[in-house]
């Protein structure tokens, strides 16, 4: 689809050395960046049909917009390339590495520009994918830059392709600075590559209307100067007006200072405990020595946002109560600035805007912790690639603590420390896995957001909730025990639900006595040498003395999968519900949900066996 008379190559190359070529080519591109408005196939979605946006790189020179069609099980992607050099790579990989990635590549050999579905092998070497599953819809030159529009199904049944699932997706991107004779001459490991985490499959639920008596409150940094270091957690105290009565938060949204979109990584608003009657004002880095100590106790989540998320709406029958008696007047805003280019002098007033109403909704929303108790008895051996720990909320606890009509979970925030790689919570009813509450197969501790569930999950009395976390400790020499420290681990799912109940925490850990049997056995296998010679060794000391071999690893795993548990079925302030919670048997699961089988299209003849040639024609920029 070449407009006659207006055609010029994207770049026309002279001859000599690669270096010269690259540099001249750069100039050529700058001068002749002339792009075709080419509706290649299918219909292009309009801007309004692409509701989600995220900057890919810290400079913001690559920007992704997308929509999700659950009917078609496909995503339309729009990639804006503000300053095109010799091409771009975009795609996905398990943990965001450029190797073993599923990619689309826009490149030129100097004469012709190409677009292709490709993949990188474990060495980063790029290969053409024999099955072309990214469908190019449009290439367009706009005043902002080059816009590529393409479509991809969630699953392609091509083993080289990434399966787009619920939860976190690690997007990878890269810049081609020079032409390549062919796709096979490109190695992603040697390029300027980066990653961006995002939830691609946003839930497709309509936002409830806000009532007319909705008020807003902004909690934001007071035009601070972002520190010139890679990572800053900024803490900012906000005081509610005196006599602020009980309200329901029914929605919140991010306020991101223009120009800082690529710097503001995530933000949370916490409420302090009600018994803290005064909190001094503070605005500064959370690790500052001048930060008031008691700010650390302000941990009740009111709002949480992360890059790529949009406004968070409570279901129309519920709201999060704040204000009034028994509710602290002090809030803490925490902003995570991610400044890998160490930009200086950047000012920021980002924060969160709460939408709240005095007309209380039918139900108070509540937050409940599922998963593992923070205790060292749950540990991960070192050098494991995918060790699973599991925490239980048992039928005894839900029977006792839930109202007769049950509760309804509408959102979930998964949480681990640095070794976490996957998290899933499954609802078990009558011994059968019933439905998944929330699952993230590409979980990252660096990307924790409150996610609306696609579908509200109702939990009945007597149901069981099983939360499993998968950890990677390949880079560690010692066992990683459960605990609060950053190098210790957690396995938690904070579920947001209504109506609020007294049950704040429904978690478990292996029985400590059975764990001692484990240490005894390892000790005997170890030729009678005590695993720890200390007179009263602590559990972390005992774990530190275990010789980690196939036997001690497998037996620990078998122990966690079999030994009785101690349940924490708790109200506020760690008060347990009345009942027998120690030496409880593991809940029995007699049938599993199994992995969803992707609907594969029937075998097709290879359509575009090669890359798509893009006729780079059009007006001069």
φ, ψ (nearest 5 deg) of residue 530: -60, 140
Question: Among 260, 299, 261, 223, which residue's Cα sits nearest to residue 54?
Answer: 261
Site membership for a copy of itself, residue 588 (CB under 8 A): no
Question: Helical H runs in 424-464?
Answer: none
Please state the closest distance from residue 606 (CB atom) to a copy of itself, in A.
6
**3-class secondary-structure state, position 451:** strand
> Which residue, 12 or 582, is less far from a copy of itself as judged by CB?
582
The β-bridge relationship of strands 247-255 and 351-357 is: antiparallel
Among 606, 610, 613, 620, binds a copy of itself (CB under 8 A): 606
**Could you tell me the maximum CA-CA distance found in the chain, to the nearest angstrom?**
89
Site membership for a copy of itself, residue 551 (CB under 8 A): yes
> Which residue, 23 or 385, is less far from a copy of itself as judged by CB?
385
The β-bridge relationship of strands 612-614 and 113-120 is: antiparallel
Site membership for a copy of itself, residue 550 (CB under 8 A): yes
Which residues have a catalytic role annotated? 233, 415
Within 456-515, which residues bind a copy of itself (CB under 8 A)? Answer: 514
Between CA 337 and CA 348 the distance in angstroms is 10
Instruction: Give CB contacts under 8 A, 24+ apart, made by 285-290.
Output: 285/227, 285/232, 285/233, 285/234, 285/235, 286/233, 286/234, 286/235, 286/334, 287/233, 288/235
Site membership for a copy of itself, residue 157 (CB under 8 A): no
* Cα 290 to Cα 279, 283, 295, 333, 591, distances in angstroms: 13, 10, 11, 16, 54
Among 61, 78, 108, 131, binds a copy of itself (CB under 8 A): 131
Site membership for a copy of itself, residue 549 (CB under 8 A): yes
> Which residue, 378 or 495, is less far from a copy of itself as judged by CB?
378
Among 555, 571, 577, 598, binds a copy of itself (CB under 8 A): 555
Site membership for a copy of itself, residue 547 (CB under 8 A): no
Between CA 440 and CA 450 the distance in angstroms is 12
Site membership for a copy of itself, residue 403 (CB under 8 A): no
Please state the closest distance from residue 546 (CB atom) to a copy of itself, in A.
13
Please state the closest distance from residue 14 (CB atom) to a copy of itself, in A.
39
Give the neighbor-by-neighbor strand order of the sheet with 330-338. Answer: 283-285, 231-239, 330-338, 264-271, 300-306
The interface region with a copy of itself, picked from 64-72, 251-259, 474-482, 517-525 by CB under 8 A, is 517-525
In total, the chain counts a number of residues equal to 621
Between CA 587 and CA 462 the distance in angstroms is 11
> Which residue, 281 or 551, is less far from a copy of itself as judged by CB?
551
* Cα 408 to Cα 28, 114, 276, 462, 579, distances in angstroms: 60, 50, 31, 14, 24
> Which residue, 534 or 583, is less far from a copy of itself as judged by CB?
583
> Which residue, 357 or 552, is less far from a copy of itself as judged by CB?
552
Size of the site for a copy of itself (CB under 8 A): 24
Token pair recorded at residue 529: 């040498």
> Which residue, 4 or 528, is less far from a copy of itself as judged by CB?
528
Please state the closest distance from residue 605 (CB atom) to a copy of itself, in A.
4
Please state the closest distance from residue 556 (CB atom) to a copy of itself, in A.
10
Please state the closest distance from residue 241 (CB atom) to a copy of itself, in A.
57
Site membership for a copy of itself, residue 533 (CB under 8 A): no
Site membership for a copy of itself, residue 130 (CB under 8 A): yes
Beta-carbon contacts of residue 91 (< 8 Å; ≥ 6 apart): 101, 102, 103, 104, 162, 171, 172, 173
Between CA 422 and CA 170 the distance in angstroms is 13
Site membership for a copy of itself, residue 563 (CB under 8 A): yes
Using CB under 8 A, list all residues that contact a copy of itself.
130-131, 514, 517, 520-521, 524-525, 549-551, 554-555, 557-559, 561-563, 602-606
């Amino acid at each position: 689809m070449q407009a006659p008379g207006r055609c010029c190559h994207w770049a026309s190359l002279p001859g000599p050395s690669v270096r010269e070529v690259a540099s001249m080519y750069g100039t050529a591109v700058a001068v002749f960046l002339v792009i075709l408005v080419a509706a290649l196939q299918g219909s292009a979605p309009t801007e309004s049909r692409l509701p989600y946006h995220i900057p890919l790189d810290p400079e913001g020179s690559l920007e992704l917009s997308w929509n999700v069609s659950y009917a078609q099980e496909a995503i339309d992607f729009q990639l804006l390339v503000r300053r095109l050099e010799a091409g771009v790579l975009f795609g996905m990989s398990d943990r965001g590495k450029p190797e073993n990635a599923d990619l689309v590549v826009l490149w030129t050999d100097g004469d012709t520009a190409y677009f292709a579905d490709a993949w990188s092998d474990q060495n980063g070497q790029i290969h053409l994918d024999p099955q072309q599953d990214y469908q190019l819809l449009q290439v367009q030159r706009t005043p902002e830059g080059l816009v590529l529009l393409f479509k991809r199904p969630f699953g392609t049944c091509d083993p080289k392709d990434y399966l787009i699932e619920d939860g976190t997706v690690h997007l990878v991107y890269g810049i081609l600075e020079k032409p390549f004779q062919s796709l096979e001459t490109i190695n992603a490991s040697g390029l300027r590559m980066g990653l961006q985490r995002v939830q691609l499959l946003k839930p497709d639920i309509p936002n409830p209307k806000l009532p007319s008596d909705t008020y807003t409150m902004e909690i934001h940094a007071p035009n601070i100067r972002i520190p010139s270091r890679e990572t800053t957690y900024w803490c900012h105290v906000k005081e509610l007006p005196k006599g602020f009565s009980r309200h329901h938060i029914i929605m919140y949204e991010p306020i991101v200072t223009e120009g800082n979109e690529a710097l503001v990584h995530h933000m949370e608003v916490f409420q302090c405990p009600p018994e803290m009657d005064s909190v001094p004002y503070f605005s500064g880095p959370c690790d500052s020595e001048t930060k008031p100590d008691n700010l650390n106790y302000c941990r009740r989540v009111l709002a949480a946002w992360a890059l790529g998320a949009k406004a968070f709406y409570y279901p129309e029958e519920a709201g999060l109560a704040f204000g009034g008696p028994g509710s602290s007047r002090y809030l803490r805003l925490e902003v995570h600035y991610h400044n890998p280019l160490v930009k200086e002098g950047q000012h920021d007033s980002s924060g969160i805007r709460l939408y709240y109403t005095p007309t209380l909704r039918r139900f108070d929303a509540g937050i409940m912790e599922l998963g593992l108790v923070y205790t060292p008895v749950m540990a991960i051996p070192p050098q494991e690639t995918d060790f699973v720990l599991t925490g239980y909320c048992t039928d005894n606890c839900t029977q006792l603590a839930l109202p007769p009509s049950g509760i309804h979970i509408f959102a979930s925030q998964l949480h681990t420390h640095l070794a976490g790689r996957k998290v899933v919570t499954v609802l078990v009813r009558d011994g059968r896995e019933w439905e998944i509450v929330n699952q993230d197969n590409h979980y990252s501790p660096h990307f924790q957001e409150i996610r609306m569930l696609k579908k509200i999950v109702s939990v009945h009395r007597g149901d069981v909730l099983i939360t499993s976390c998968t950890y990677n400790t390949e880079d560690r020499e010692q066992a990683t025990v459960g605990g609060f420290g950053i190098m210790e681990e957690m396995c938690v799912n904070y579920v947001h639900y209504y109506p609020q109940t007294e049950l704040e925490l429904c978690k478990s850990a292996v029985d400590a006595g059975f764990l001692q049997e484990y240490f005894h056995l390892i000790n005997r296998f170890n030729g009678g040498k005590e695993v720890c010679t200390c007179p009263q060794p602590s559990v972390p000391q005992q774990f530190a003395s275990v010789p980690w071999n196939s036997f001690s690893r497998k037996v620990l795993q078998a122990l966690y999968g079999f030994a009785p548990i101690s349940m924490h079925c708790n109200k506020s302030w760690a008060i347990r519900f009345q009942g027998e919670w120690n030496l409880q048997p593991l809940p029995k699961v007699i049938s599993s949900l199994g992995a969803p089988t992707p609907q594969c299209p029937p075998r097709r003849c290879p359509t575009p066996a090669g890359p798509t040639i893009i006729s780079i024609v059009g007006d001069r920029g």
